Structure 1
Amino acid sequence: MIHVELYGGKGLFGGREQPLEASVIRCDKYKSCSYYENNQCLKVRSIGGSTCRFGEEDTVRGYTSKAKKYHQFKRSWKEHEQYRKLGKPSAKLGHIDNFVVFPYPYIHIKEQEDGEIKISDPLMFSDKTAFIPWERFTPELIHRICTFRPEAVMGGEIMEYRKKIVPML
């Protein structure tokens, strides 16, 4: 267990109260993870963020504030040694085990069955995080990534990729 966070409860804008939930993240690759070294994890929940293929997230369903066990449930998770230990990383290159993590938008990178790395325009609802085997992350692949020109759905090049994403590499 590497991280615990609580979600739910009373909403900011009113509405029906949601039962408190404890999100528990477990991972056996944390010792070889550059994100974990910086007290971050791709599995930490965020809106529209990247996610990780390693590790598992379990949700322990709790109670609303009207239940007798609510305060006990909340206190037990808040006192856990891993409570809010990790944050969500910004979009940056990383490594986990023998993979380079490429969490940038506007590009879809996938390893084919024959081992070739295919670069294409992003799919509409695909995860933007690519896990590239370390031995395939070569200068030639980096050159292909930097010179790639993604196309928008309505046509034309997505200029933000060349102006913001490529310099981050």
Structure 2
Amino acid sequence: MVNDIKIKIKQNSIIEEVKDISNYIPINFTYYDPRNSLFKAGRRDRERVTVYTCNNSENCDACKRNKCAMLNGLYAHSCSYGQIKREEGYTKAARRCGDLIRKRKDEYGDVAYSKGDLKFLCYIGDYVFLPLPHLINYSNSIREKNFFKGDGDIIRKENFTPEFIVELIKYRPRAMMGGEITSYQREEIPKFCSQLKRYMPDIFDKVKMIYPEIEDRIKDIDYKDKEAKVVTLLPGKVKLSTKILEWDGSVIKAEGNQLTFWGLTKEPVVITPDENTYVQIIDSAMVTEDTEFKDE
């Protein structure tokens, strides 16, 4: 590599043993080009690329839904199965600025920006990702730091017991200066219980046996107007833009006058959605354990 290119590599590991990188495959690629930045870039700003690799993508519920824990946080999030490689290339002022980005696009362009940050409860190999804040804090952490892996929201699968889940539900984190962080109980726990029921129904049933009150935490949840992938919803009415259309489980049905930009009247129109077609939910009963929400 030419002398002007500086390479920085961060091993994003939360396990103790040395990793064999030969088993890692690229799952996501991002880059920063100072020449095309939305914000004003200085002449000394360098092009940057980041490659995320994983050795367990086939056994990761997050990766299967195009999400990744390593994308959480401002700088990076730890994952037992992942590594992050960062590189810096030429400055904006250099004539060859962009060389590094072009080279890495040739190598990893097929996974460019293919993953999003992780916001839902899921299994990651032998671990569980908990989408809950404040579990480690300055006042009353739910467990010692070494109970968690890395950033305080991943635990070993064997520790994700019904009893511990009840602790999570009852937990009331406190702020550093005193006082309860009320958003945890008001907002986070109903969402967590809902995800537990949808994504891990067997675990939910076990929790319900020792803590029937868990049903009370989700009874008021309403999915109306939330955006979700239409192909993950049961048939029913959905909203696309401002129009109420019919989803039959295979296609979205409409009348021509609902799509005025075509200049039609009552002609039947059929829209075949793809994996990334999002609609607004009209009826919460359309939601299943497979439903994928845009904000998750």
Does the alignment reach a TM-score above 0.5? Answer: yes
Separation in 2 of the partners of 1:63 and 1:70? Answer: 5
Query: Following TM superposition, by how much is the alpha carbon of 1:46 offset from its aligned partner in structure 2, in angstroms?
Result: 4.6
Query: Following TM superposition, by how much is the alpha carbon of 1:34 offset from its aligned partner in structure 2, in angstroms?
Result: 1.1
- SS of 2:30's equivalent in the other structure is strand
Q: Which amino acid aligns with 2:32?
A: Y
Contact map agreement 2:61 2:122 (CA 8 A) in 1: yes
Q: Which amino acid aligns with 1:94?
A: C
Structure 2 gap segments, 5+ residues each: 1-25, 193-296
Instruction: Say if 2:83 is the partner of 1:83.
Output: no
- SS of 2:174's equivalent in the other structure is coil
Q: Which amino acid aligns with 1:105?
A: P
Separation in 2 of the partners of 1:138 and 1:59? Answer: 37
Structural mapping, 1:31-110, within 5 Å: 31-44=58-71, 46-47=73-74, 50-79=77-106, 80-89=109-118, 91-108=119-136
Higher alpha-carbon Rg: 2
User: What is the match of residue 113 of structure 1?
Assistant: none
Q: Residues 124-155 of structure 1: CA distance to partner in whole angstroms, max 9, x if unpaired?
A: xxx65422222221111110110011111111
Separation in 2 of the partners of 1:49 and 1:165? Answer: 22
- SS of 2:142's equivalent in the other structure is strand
Instruction: Say if 2:169 is the partner of 1:146.
Output: yes
Separation in 1 of the partners of 2:154 and 2:43? Answer: 39
- SS of 2:176's equivalent in the other structure is coil
Q: Which amino acid aligns with 1:19?
A: R
TM-score (norm 1): 0.78
Separation in 2 of the partners of 1:167 and 1:102? Answer: 13
Q: Residues 58-98 of structure 1: CA distance to partner in whole angstroms, max 9, x if unpaired?
A: 11221123333323322233342222221222x22121111
Task: Count how many residue pairs are aligned between Structure 1 and Structure 2.
Answer: 156
Contact map agreement 1:105 1:128 (CA 8 A) in 2: no
Task: Between the two structures, name the one with larger relative contact order (CA 8 Å, sep ≥ 6).
Answer: 1
Distance change (3 Å), C-alpha of 1:164 and 1:137? same
Moved more, 138-147 or 5-14: 5-14
User: What is the match of residue 158 of structure 1?
Assistant: 181
Q: Which amino acid aligns with 1:76?
A: K
Structure 1 gap segments, 5+ residues each: 110-117
Contact map agreement 1:92 1:104 (CA 8 A) in 2: no
- SS of 1:84's equivalent in the other structure is coil
Instruction: Say if 2:155 is the partner of 1:132.
Output: yes
Contact map agreement 2:71 2:77 (CA 8 A) in 1: no
Percent identity between matched residues is 26
User: What is the match of residue 229 of structure 2?
Assistant: none
> Which structure shows the higher helix fraction?
2
